[in-house]
Structure 1
Amino acid sequence: MEFSNEHPIYLQIKNDIYYKICKGNLRPGDKLSSVRDYAVEVGVNPNTVQRTYTDMEREGIVEKRRGQGSYVTEDFQTIKKLRDQMAFEQVQLFYSSMTQMGFTDEEIVDQLQCVMKEGGTS
């Protein structure tokens, strides 16, 4: 995993896990790697991963099971809420970028429809 200097590493790890949940690579009830294993995998201090897991647990996306580890929540409403939130943030970034380039709402919708017709590929 490549980290940027724009955001704290624990947030980048959290977003990566959230993308995996939204995409379905991590499903409700799936066990996350142990803090130590994940830290080795991504090349960070275990404290950074622990902070990430704790943050996700506080948000209700991850559930810690005593003696068993951390798991993706099985609450489908929580997962739906996460997906909706992440979609909104992506659309908001896209919209903000397009308006800053001077595109009107109509032009943005036209461009989006064009991309959708092509199946999202260029």
Structure 2
Amino acid sequence: MSQENKLEKTNRVNLLFDFYETLLTEKQQTFLKYYFHDDFSLGEIAGEFEISRQAVYEHIKRAEEMLEAYEMKLGLLQKHEERCALLAKLQEVLMESDISSLHKETAKDLLQQVEQL
């Protein structure tokens, strides 16, 4: 796996983890945090928990599969990404628009409220 693909995978797992962390078992949460957040190797995690590297790998793989399954069912990450894209487009339109300064301020206030959602 190339470095770019590994980074993309890590970013995706971290985003999915942010949305679905509480749906995972405590052990799955711990292993994912060690591996993806803290950048521990399989061997380091195995040593910490006194289990084999293969067992760690299987726990992490199963947790990743669970995150993807939750995303398939609930789509929270996809919805988040869609909202972010719409928000970026709104910002772009707002900055390019030739509207009065009063309306522009109102639009900026609305944009800030939307961002807080």
TM over 0.5: no
More strand by share: 1
Normalised by the length of structure 1, the TM-score is 0.34
More helix by share: 2
